[in-house]
Amino acid sequence: MKELPYQAKAVIGRREMVTLPELHLTLCAKADTGARTSSLHAEDIESFEEDGHLWVSFTTRSGGPASPAHVFRLHLHDRRRVTSSNGQAEWRYVIRTPLQLGKLEFPVELTLADRRNMRHPMLLGRRALRRLLVAPGAAFLHGEP
């Protein structure tokens, strides 16, 4: 067996509770090694320019359609072409914010996508999972929902 090229910072389950401290959100995220970039559920997504900077406004829910809506206006980090799991390519806005998972905290890039028909409001893609190991048979190793 080949050695890992790095020392893993943590082992996580296929689902974990994560916090986005700058957004004051705690939500259930699914580890998705098939996705390159992480994704956050967002509705009513609009980009705009203010004082020479690009911004994005959106609404998100941390626990399904019945949970309260949270409205945000954040700096737009990027815009990327993303191919979804059904093979459809689309342009998505990207924000950058800190993420807490257990005792770990690191910056994460999140594409904004309508995930209302998905089970989890957030996906953790490979870029966020760097230096972490995923135990697919386990869940909530860093705290219960």
Residue 144 is assigned to a structural domain of this protein: no
Please enumerate in sequence order all residues whose Cβ is within 8 A of that of 29, keeping only pairs 6 or more positions apart, or say none.
15, 16, 17, 18, 38, 120, 121, 122, 123, 124
CATH at residue 98: 2.40.70.10
pLDDT in tens, 13-54: 999 999 999 999 999 999 999 999 999 999 999 999 998 999
pLDDT in tens, 46-69: 999 998 999 999 999 877 667 788
**Distance (Å, whole) CA 94 – CA 98:** 13
pLDDT in tens, 68-84: 889 999 999 999 999 87
Q: Which domain holds residue 124?
A: 10-135
Residue 143 is assigned to a structural domain of this protein: no
**Distance (Å, whole) CA 12 – CA 136:** 8
How many domains are contained in the chain?
Answer: 1
